[in-house]
Structure 1
Amino acid sequence: MILINLLPHREERRQRRKKAFYAGLGVSFVVGLVFAGLWYLVLQQMITSQQERNAFLRAEIAKLEEQIKDIATLKAEIDSLKARQKAVEDLQADRNVPVHLLNELVKQTPEGVYLTTIKQDGNVVGVTGIAQTNERVSEFLRNTAYSSTWLEKPDLVEIKAANLVTAGREQKRLFEFSVRVSLKRSPESAKQDGGIPATPGGAASAPAVKRS
């Protein structure tokens, strides 16, 4: 019977396996380091590219902010020019308003009504006068409310009876009245004024307007 000792062979095989295991670990470590280095380089490249994009965006945003400032300045200048143009148009329109106002009062004042004072304050015109009867004052109010292209919203402030001495030394019972009326700008009145839309303003006074 032949006896074979296998212990040295098994020990040698264990040593070979151990060396192969350590060699595998070393190779894996090296491969891991290589992959980690490559990934680090890729990340650095991505970070650099993103920083370049951010710098480009900041530069473009700065340019846009400058353009926005220029646009705001231009808008302010345009608004200023529009305000000046409107002021000129208002002045041109207001220049003719007293004439239209007097013509309209003459047209709408009924017989038996005498206007003694006319005062304009912005869009409101104050009128005082003397009427033969209350009905004449009512007619004046109706005319300015419904028949006028320049006057609207008449408001009777006061009316009272008064005994006045005429030129022939004769006393007559008349009615003193005070009315407020608003100016308006209708399409017809705008055409009469040359088609310039504006708001009447300023102050005007005139001598008595007499209708008899």
Structure 2
Amino acid sequence: MILINLLPHREAARKRRKEVFQMAMFGALVVGLLAAAGVYAVFQGLIDGQQERNTYLQSEIAVLNRQIKDVQGLEGEIAALRERQKAVEDLQADRNLPVYLLSDLAQLLPEGVYLSSLKQNGLQVELKGSAQSNERVSEVLRNLANGSPWFTKPVLKEIVSGTVEIAPKDLRKVVNFTMTFMLVRSTEVNQQAQERRP
């Protein structure tokens, strides 16, 4: 005998497939939402960790900035102390400059040259005097430039012809001059001497 099933089995199978598909879609949706929530939680944890590190770094940077300001203040104080120390050392070294000035001037002035004025302003010295000729003035300039390590940069400011009375009726022609030169500090003279040594 042939059995014929007249029940709508295709529709029942279609309904079951539809229900399975809907369950699979719902499951996929739940899994997708859970995965998205997990990824969000992971990234949020990373962001929170990075923000904590950033906060820590900013607090450390603030501490370092305060330390840098302290160090800069100390460097300024050290520079000021060094300047004061150098000023004291220069004063200590320069206390003998007048002695060197007078000693070397006495040796460097040729015969026939007479000084009428000697004025020192800091390291600059101004000489006024008389000489028997222009050649003697030139010799003084050469001697000041090359004859002593204590003198440098001689400059002839003025040279004027004049006369000087030696006796009541004895007038002689002279050359009146004004020149300046610079004194060299003791520290520089010592440094130059050390550089010349082999």
* Fold-level similarity (TM above 0.5): yes
Q: TM-score, normalised by structure 2?
A: 0.87
What letter is aligned with 2:179? V
Find the residue that maps to 1:166 and give its secondary structure. strand
**Cα RMSD (Å):** 2.3
Q: Is the Cα contact below 8 Å between 1:149 and 1:188 reproduced in 2?
A: no
Structure with a larger share of its residues in helix = 2
Give the equivalent residue in structure 1 for 2:136.
136
> Which residues of 2 match residues 47-126 of structure 1 at below 5 A?
47-126=47-126
Shift of 1:17: 0.7
On the 8 A contact 1:162/1:173 being kept in 2, the answer is yes
| Structure 1 unaligned residues grouped into runs of 5+ | 196-212
Matched-pair contact (CA < 8 Å) for 2:93–2:187 = no
Amino acid at match of 1:16: R
Deviations 1:83-121 (A, max 9, x none): 110111121122221121111111110011101111122
Q: Does structure 2 retain, via aligned residues, the 8 Å contact 1:149–1:186?
A: no
Partner residue of 1:147?
147
Q: Is the 8 A contact 2:93 2:185 kept in 1?
A: no
User: Which letter does structure 2 place at the counterpart of 1:9?
Assistant: H
1:18 Cα shift?
A: 0.8
Cα distance in 2 for partners of 1:171, 1:110 equals 21
User: How many pairs are equivalent?
Assistant: 192
Aligned partner of 2:11 in structure 1 is: 11
Q: Could you tell me how far apart the structure 1 residues matched to 2:83 and 2:25 are?
A: 84
Q: Provide the C-alpha distance between the structure 2 equivalents of 1:56 and 1:145, rounded to a whole number of angstroms.
A: 67
Confirm or deny: 8 A CA contact 2:134 2:175 kept in the other structure: yes
Q: Which residue of 2 aligns with 1:158?
A: 158
Secondary structure of 2:4's match? coil
* Alignment correspondent of 1:45: 45
In structure 2, what is the Cα distance between the partners aligned to 1:154 and 1:88?
27
Post-superposition, which runs of at least 4 consecutive aligned residues in structure 1 deviate over 4 A?
A: 185-188
Q: 1:91 to 1:178 in 2, by over 3 A?
A: same
> For 2:114, what is the secondary structure of its paired residue?
strand
> 1:167/1:25 Cα in 2 relative to 1: closer, same or farther (>3 Å)?
same
Query: Cα distance, 1:163 vs. partner?
Result: 2.0
Change (3 A) 1:93 1:13: same
Percent identity between the two aligned chains:
51
Contact 1:159 1:176 in 2 (8 A): yes
CA distance in 2, matches of 1:12, 1:152: 120
Contact 2:126 2:178 in 1 (8 A): yes
Q: Quote the residue 2:179 is aligned against.
A: 179
**Per-residue deviation at 1:52?**
1.1
Structure 1 distance, partners of 2:89, 2:185, is: 14
Structure 2, unpaired ranges of 5+: none
Q: Distance in 2 between matches of 1:22 and 1:140?
A: 118
